[in-house]
Amino acid sequence: MAHTRFDSTTTQSDVQMGATRRQLTVYVIPNCANCEYAVGVAATIRRDYPHVAVQVIDLANPPEPPPDSVFAAPTYLLDGRVWSLGNPSPEQIEATFGDDSPDYSAMSRWRR
């Protein structure tokens, strides 16, 4: 299996928004279908909910040790607390991040 490199990006707009934004950190591992899907979920949340700063961390090469609450992948931390072990449903995402009506049909391409 090929090693997948995950991007742990925080965009310039994330920095500009400062502390008023919610922080979603998604922990993933290489060669994991659910983690591949999680990267797509993170991109969808980043696109549809610009008030959420989204970062994807590859546990194979983390910038710092993960919190003790991260013991499985994918794990989603929202503002430093476990929000989802495994991938959240579109309904959970919408209920958490806003009452907008984002288009989750794009997420289907990551489903296996």
pLDDT in tens, 38-76: 999 999 999 999 999 999 999 999 999 999 999 999 999
Average predicted confidence (pLDDT) for the chain: 81
Compute the average pLDDT of residues 3-27.
60
Global pTM reads 0.73
- Tell me which H or E stretch contains 77: strand 75-78
Percent of the chain residues past pLDDT 90, beyond the cut? 68
Question: Please, what's the b/e burial string for 89-106 (b: 16 or more CB within 10 A of its CB; e: otherwise)?
Answer: ebeebbebbeeeebeeee
- Residue 38: the pLDDT is 98
